[in-house]
């Protein structure tokens, strides 16, 4: 940086950095307005940012003017740097995901930094232009900040000029604040300041105040009907597979002929939604029949004193089933061994157990065909009936398939299609292996998704804070020889939480006593049932389906609206509700979300070895980590 320019900027470093924050925020909102064709709303989107950043500049200036000391210079410059950093983080997240970031989204950086930074690195590579535009200036500002903090240059103020400057900033800041009610920002939450929203999000209700308690495996005894079926159960859970990208949707997405064939041999639940669009939460819902904690914690993975009442514990305890959970992902991702331990499985197998890095796919998954032999070996170990659950992860970001399968596609959406087609081929191979073992006729075979994935359908990417069908709607089909008539199709709204009670009813259990949140999806449920859904963080949208209408509450701007999915399946025309009705529905959704948060009976801090090779450590309900120890 030229000496004269630096000499001009250094005494007013905090103002320079605040200008950078303002420019970054206004620029990224302009980009977003252009991207989603909302340029007419742009001015309404940025008024809150102008008000906050100009008024924050005044506060910093007054502090420095009153106490012109080196430590004060460092203090106000540091505060400005924090504000500017959040602007950059906000911009990067908005460009990549299309949604607004809140501090809780960054929790993985603290509890699992290695995996989190690998994901961030992958996303930076996917958006090279945006990465250079954001990170290039950021490094320049960082160098300037370090120099300014190391050798502060105190400013000599001209009182009159300072008063004029503060007055101008005050007029601009207050003018923007007072203009907000008179300038519409459409139906968008972008009209709020990301900085104010970030601070406000830190003062939410403490999760420890929850009252919900989950039953342990030995607290409830389910009855069995006479003439029950004694069949093995295989559940394959697909990671992040959007329903519209399968052949089940009939829209020309990825080619999944096996999945269509499987649905034709049994039942296709063609109207299924994920209870929570986050894998750990969705797994809990699928395998317990209960809503997960609808928050950004990892309570489901904190080792419980006793395993919860779940599909695995019920089948093991009542019918003597062997139970195993296999996944192609590495085990330390979101402390999966802790979750599987809580669900009561006898065996946990992850990529770490494969022992051959040649089968690894990038940072998370492995070639799922390499799992078939370990799965086969486990099945052959005993003649007892079994519950086998398999989580596929090749369809997770960054969407890579093994080199032997196909040449890597260039565009992310094409790579995504590749992974879905690969997974369909793997499903066919797994089913053939089961048939080869003589298990086809006495095995219930189920394929279900954990959540979907967005690829810009509404200007959004990912799944965690998205209330649209691309993130919520999932494939779900079951083949059960002699128990389900082939070719059956269920069109009523079904949820992740319905999997466990549906399978238990098929196996002859009487599930009413269990108090599941889910229901038997093969029974007549009716259109008045509310099928709730949520994202990961509490600041994200949540809602419910009732018949063909999807109601959504967005805490970002406290709006409540619905989509008529029969008339508007693409969710292009949201319908806002009258204030009284909106408040009632919004309050019911907020109440549901609060009620899902459950108590933890274990110590606030601890460590525990699970499955003989995983050390799980936790602090509270948010920070949970699993480390592979090998055989202990």
Contact 40, 104 (CB under 8 A): no
The tens digit of pLDDT for each residue in 354-391 reads: 988 899 998 889 999 999 999 999 999 999 999 999 99
The tens digit of pLDDT for each residue in 161-180 reads: 889 988 999 999 999 989 88
The tens digit of pLDDT for each residue in 573-610 reads: 999 999 999 999 999 999 999 999 998 888 889 999 99
Q: What is the dihedral of CA 537, 49, 116, 465, to 10 degrees?
A: 30
- Tell me what pLDDT residue 300 has: 94
Domains recognised in the chain with CATH numbers: 3-201 (no CATH), 208-628 (3.40.720.10)
Cis ω for the linkage preceding 312 (within 30 of 0): no
Average pLDDT over residues 411-427: 95
What does 283-320 look like in DSSP terms, one character per residue?
Answer: HHHHHHSS----SS--GGGSPPSSPBS-HHHHHHHHH-
Q: Say which DSSP state 583 is in.
A: H
From the DSSP assignment, how many helices (H) and strands (E) are in the chain? 18, 25
Kindly report the number of other CB atoms within 10 A of residue 69's CB atom: 12
Closest to 468 measured CA to CA, from 225, 138, 243, 205: 243
Q: Where are the alpha helices (DSSP H) in 266-411?
A: 279-288, 311-319, 336-342, 372-380
Under the banding of pLDDT at 50, 70 and 90, the label for residue 208 is low
Measure the CA–CA gap between 243 and 240, rounded to whole angstroms.
9
The tens digit of pLDDT for each residue in 99-153 reads: 888 777 777 777 777 776 777 777 677 667 777 877 888 888 888 888 888 888 8
If you compute the radius of gyration of the chain from its CA atoms, what whole number of angstroms results?
Answer: 27
Where is average pLDDT lowest: 1-10, 55-64, 407-416? Answer: 1-10
456-475 burial code (b ≥16 CB/10 A, e <16): ebbebbbbbbbbbbbbbbbb
From edge to edge, which strands make up the β-sheet containing 476-479?
347-349, 322-327, 386-392, 232-238, 443-449, 476-479, 267-269, 488-490
Average pLDDT over residues 395-412: 91
- Tell me what pLDDT residue 187 has: 53
The tens digit of pLDDT for each residue in 542-582 reads: 999 999 999 999 988 889 999 999 999 999 999 999 999 99
Measure the CA–CA gap between 545 and 571, rounded to whole angstroms.
13
224-250 burial code (b ≥16 CB/10 A, e <16): eeeeeeebbbbbbbbbbbbbbbbbbbe
Contact 44, 184 (CB under 8 A): yes
Measure the CA–CA gap between 290 and 287, rounded to whole angstroms.
8
Measure the CA–CA gap between 286 and 275, rounded to whole angstroms.
9
Coil, strand or helix at 102: coil
Average pLDDT over residues 80-109: 85
Measure the CA–CA gap between 551 and 542, rounded to whole angstroms.
8
């Amino acid at each position: 940086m030229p000496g004269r320019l630096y000499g001009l900027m250094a005494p007013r470093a905090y103002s320079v950095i605040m200008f950078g924050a303002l420019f970054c925020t206004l620029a990224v909102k302009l980009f977003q307005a252009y991207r989603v064709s909302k340029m007419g709303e742009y001015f309404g989107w940025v008024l809150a940012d102008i008000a906050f950043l100009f008024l924050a500049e005044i506060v910093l200036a007054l502090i420095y003017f009153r106490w012109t000391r080196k430590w004060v210079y460092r203090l106000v410059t540091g505060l400005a740097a924090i504000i500017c950093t959040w602007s950059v983080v906000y911009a990067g997240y908005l460009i990549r995901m299309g949604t607004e970031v809140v501090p809780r989204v960054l929790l993985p950086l603290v509890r699992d930094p290695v995996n989190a930074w690998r994901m961030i690195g992958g996303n930076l590579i996917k958006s090279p232009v945006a990465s250079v535009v954001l990170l290039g200036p950021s490094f320049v500002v960082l160098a300037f900040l370090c120099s300014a903090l190391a050798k502060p240059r105190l400013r000599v103020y001209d009182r009159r000029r300072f008063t004029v400057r503060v007055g101008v900033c005050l007029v601009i800041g207050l003018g923007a604040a007072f203009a907000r009610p008179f300038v519409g920002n459409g139906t968008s939450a972008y009209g709020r300041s990301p900085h104010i929203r970030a601070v406000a999000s830190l003062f939410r209700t403490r999760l420890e105040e929850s009252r919900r308690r989950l039953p342990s495996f030995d607290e409830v005894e389910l009855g069995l009907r006479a003439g029950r079926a004694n069949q093995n159960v295989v559940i394959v859970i697909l990671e992040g597979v959007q329903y519209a990208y399968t052949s089940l949707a009939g829209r020309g997405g990825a080619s999944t002929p096996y999945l269509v064939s499987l649905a034709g041999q049994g039942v296709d639940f063609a109207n299924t939604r994920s209870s929570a669009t986050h894998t750990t939460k969705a797994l809990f819902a699928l395998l317990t029949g209960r809503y997960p904690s609808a928050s950004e914690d990892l309570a489901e993975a904190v080792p419980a004193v006793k395993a919860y009442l779940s599909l695995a514990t019920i089948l093991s305890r009542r019918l003597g089933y062997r139970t195993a959970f296999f996944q192609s992902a590495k085990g330390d991702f979101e402390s999966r061994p802790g979750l599987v331990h809580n669900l009561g499985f006898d065996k946990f197998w992850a990529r770490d157990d494969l022992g051959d890095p040649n089968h690894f796919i990038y940072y998370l998954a492995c070639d799922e065909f390499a799992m078939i032999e370990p799965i086969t070996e486990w099945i052959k170990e005993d003649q007892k009936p079994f519950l086998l659950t398999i989580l596929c992860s090749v369809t997770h970001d960054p969407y890579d398939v093994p080199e032997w399968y196909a040449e890597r596609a260039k565009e992310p959406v094409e790579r995504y299609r590749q992974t879905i087609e690969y997974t369909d081929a793997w499903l066919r191979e797994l089913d053939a292996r089961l048939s080869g073992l003589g298990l086809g006729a006495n095995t219930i075979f189920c394929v279900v998704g954990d959540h979907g994935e967005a690829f810009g359908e509404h200007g959004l990417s990912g799944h965690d804070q998205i209330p649209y069908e691309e993130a919520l709607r999932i494939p779900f089909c079951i083949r059960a020889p002699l128990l389900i008539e082939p070719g059956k199709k269920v069109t009523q709204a079904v949820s992740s939480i319905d999997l466990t009670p549906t399978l238990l009813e098929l196996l002859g259990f009487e599930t009413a006593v269990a108090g599941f949140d889910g229901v038997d999806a093969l029974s007549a449920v009716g259109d008045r049932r509310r099928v709730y859904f949520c994202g990961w963080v509490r600041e994200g949208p949540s809602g419910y389906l009732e018949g063909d209408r999807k109601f959504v509450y967005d805490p970002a701007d406290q709006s409540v609206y619905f989509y008529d999915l029969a008339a508007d399946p693409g969710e292009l025309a949201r319908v806002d509700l009258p204030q009284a009705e909106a408040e009632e529905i919004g309050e019911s959704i907020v109440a549901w979300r609060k009620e899902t948060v459950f108590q933890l009976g274990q110590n606030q801090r601890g460590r525990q070895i699970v499955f003989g090779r995983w050390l799980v450590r936790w602090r509270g309900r948010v920070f949970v980590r699993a480390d592979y120890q090998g055989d202990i």
